[in-house]
Amino acid sequence: MQGNRILLVVGGGIAAFKIPELIRLLRKQGMAVTPVLTQAGAQFVTPLTLSALAEAPCHQELFDLTRESEMGHIELSRAADLVVVAPATADLMARMAGGLANDLASTLLLATNKPVLIAPAMNVRMWEHAATQRNRATLAEDGILFVGPDEGSMACGEFGEGRMAEPEAILEAIQRHLGERPLRLPPEAVVRLPPRGSLAGKHILVTSGPTHEPIDPVRYLANRSSGAQGTAIGAALRDLGARVTFVTGPASVPPPEGVEVIRVETAEEMRVAVEHALPVDAAVMAAAVADWKVKNASASKIKKDGCGRMPVLEFSENPDILAWLSRLSLGRPKLVVGFAAETDDVIAHATEKRLRKGCDWILANDVRPGTEIMGGTENAVTLISDQGVESWPRMAKDEVAARLAARISLALEGR
């Protein structure tokens, strides 16, 4: 991280009191920090504190005549390797989503050509408000990176999601993005994300969550999928204007709002639901479908009888929904996307799976113990297609979903 340059925009929230610690951590890693303090942010932390810790001037005013004679706001916005907004208040997010430029911070954010990472911080009701969620989706579509918010107690006395990520977590996100993202892209490498509504008129199928395969009326076989990634994908496609049919197993994360939800339990039920949803323009098969079912499932609860012998369970294969859909001769979606959760030789196994199943894309992820992917809030995927292998950095599942939705939009346009 030595020598990387961070432009740090400090918003107006009580979480700003954590920013001096963040600057200290960044400086300890050898990074140069240029603070930009909003008018609201100055109510919580002083420019002198930020300047002293950063060992650099703290910028506040857009119309600084000396600097603006040299287009200082353009220079500031382009000189950094990464722009970080912390805390990113509801107001700052709204201004970013709307493309406003009425102070130094918002002007810098509009003028920059560098990656932007934001750490949202606000009251739980403000975070959950439909307007904030629309702004969040817009920013994700625009390529903005997110860290947090976290769940917990707030200064207002309420509890919920909206706390700014801790300085250590923000540092880790900065290190991850600086270490894994190409920060200085040539102009020809920049991909413009599709606008909102770019999937209007498209019907997309998303499968999500685990399946439960009964052993008896009480017990079942399952896996660790929470359904979080599938829900995020459904929401991201909906936000781009698609009509989404969402087929979900018994997931712990609720399905997105504003989509058609079909609830199933077993792999057999999911295959039937997928068939009934056709025709669709694209299918994203994010569900973690059980490979096997119990052939001799009991109609009554299996009880111990004191003999010490274990019950004998016979297994049979479940239908391969991804392969069936990918190889349809009539009614096959234009784009079929599969997922591959692997623990060993991730790329090799996922590449082989794509060819064997016949799907267009496979999103592979490493789910070894300790990765905290299944059931976690983040994901690190590799997109495998006939164009090659493309690894994405670890990021929030909402960000993975937004990026995937953008790629689907481009693919359905033939790009």
The pTM (predicted TM-score) of the whole model is 0.53
Q: Cα separations (Å) of 277 from 79, 209, 284, 321? A: 50, 17, 13, 13
Other beta carbons less than 10 A from residue 78's beta carbon: 14
Buried/exposed code over 279-308 (b: 16+ C-beta within 10 A; e: otherwise): ebbbbbbbbbbbeebbeebbeeeeeeeeee
Q: How far is CA 377 from the centre of its chain?
A: 8
Q: Which of 58, 156, 307, 359 is catalytic?
A: 156
Residue 169, classified by CB atoms within 10 Å of its CB into exposed (0-12), middle (13-18) or buried (19+), is middle
Active site annotation includes 156: yes
What was the pLDDT predicted at 196? 54
Whether omega before 87 lies within 30 degrees of 0, making that bond cis, reads yes
pLDDT at 181: 41
Structure tokens at 62: 């857009």
* pLDDT computed for residue 94 by the predictor: 94
Q: Is the dihedral of CA 259, 263, 267, 269 positive or negative?
A: negative
301 marked as part of a ligand binding site: yes
Q: Cα 346–347–349 angle (5° rounding)? A: 65
All domains of the chain in start order, with CATH: 5-189 (3.40.50.1950), 203-291+312-412 (3.40.50.10300)
Instruction: Supply the pLDDT for residue 374.
Output: 62
- Residue 334 assigned ligand-binding role: no
Burial class (CB in 10 A: 0-12, 13-18, 19+), 152: exposed
CB 178 within 8 A of CB 29: no
Q: Distance between alpha carbon 78 and the CA centroid of its chain, in Å?
A: 26
Beta strands 315-317 and 378-379, pairing class: unpaired
The reply to whether 357 sits in an annotated binding site is yes
Is 233 annotated in some ligand binding site? Answer: no
pLDDT along the chain (415 residues), means of 10: 81 92 91 91 92 89 57 67 92 92 89 89 90 90 86 74 89 78 37 60 95 91 87 93 95 91 95 95 94 88 82 90 93 94 82 91 81 68 87 85 92 82
339 is in an annotated binding site: yes
Tell me the angle at which helices 90-98 and 104-111 cross, rounded to the nearest 10 degrees.
Answer: 40
* CA dist 280 → 238, 247, 335, 409, 412 (Å): 14, 13, 9, 14, 12
CA–CA separation, 229 vs 226, rounded Å? 8
